[in-house]
Amino acid sequence: MKKKFKARKKEFNLLEEYRKSWKYVVESKKFIYVAIGIFFFFALMGYFIPVPEIIYKEITELIKEIIEKTQNLSQVGLIKFIILNNLQSTLFGILFGIVFGIFPILSAIGNGYILGFVASISVESGGISTLWKILPHGVFELPAIFISLGLGIKLGTFIFRKKKSESLRNLLVNSLRVFLLIIVPLLITAGIIEGTLIFLLAN
């Protein structure tokens, strides 16, 4: 029994699992491109098209709520808040894609629109140079978001396959592997950069 356990233990290879993760990301590139396309289409809409008063109030209230939650946090607390919030949203983006990929599509629409809206207000109040603040953490955060949304959309395609339960299991296992080995490190890096920048700029 002990020999079997040791043999199984030796089978796990982190580097091999990491390679599998990137291979699955490449295999899922069409779905990731769909997520990127939806995101930026609605980001442009949020930037260029004036929003109705009701939506304007909803978005500003959401932003105020986030500011209130983070304004008294320490640098470490702020970094932790950002990382946990992003980890939760990306994990949900994958798992809730099980329902025909609807949730990640809606998430791409909502997040894209809000980004465009915030960018529009930032440029209006502080000029085009204010957009540089989005860049540092966006380099790591946006790829993580796009990958998670793409995998979520792909997960929803299991329903159209012949062996549905087997397909769902394979898609889920591969998606969670990517989440742990690629998305989590990207979001931790993004959270450290973003949290540090916000803390330094606020003090």
Question: How do residues 155-202 score in pLDDT, each as one tens digit?
Answer: 999 988 888 899 999 999 999 999 999 999 999 999 998 888 877 766
- Angle at CA 179, nearest 5°, toward 116 and 106? 35
> How many Å apart are CA 102 and CA 97, to the nearest integer?
6
Confidence (pLDDT) at 68: 84
pLDDT surpassing 90 at residue 20: yes
Q: What is the pTM of this model?
A: 0.87
Residues in the chain: 203
* Among candidate residues 121, 139, 119, 140, the one with its CA nearest the CA of residue 131: 119
pLDDT (tens digit per residue) in 28-49: 999 999 999 999 999 999 989 8
Q: At what angle do helices 75-95 and 184-202 cross, to 10 degrees?
A: 140
- For residues 131 and 119, give the distance between their C-alpha atoms in angstroms, rounded to a whole number: 7
Amino acid at 191: G
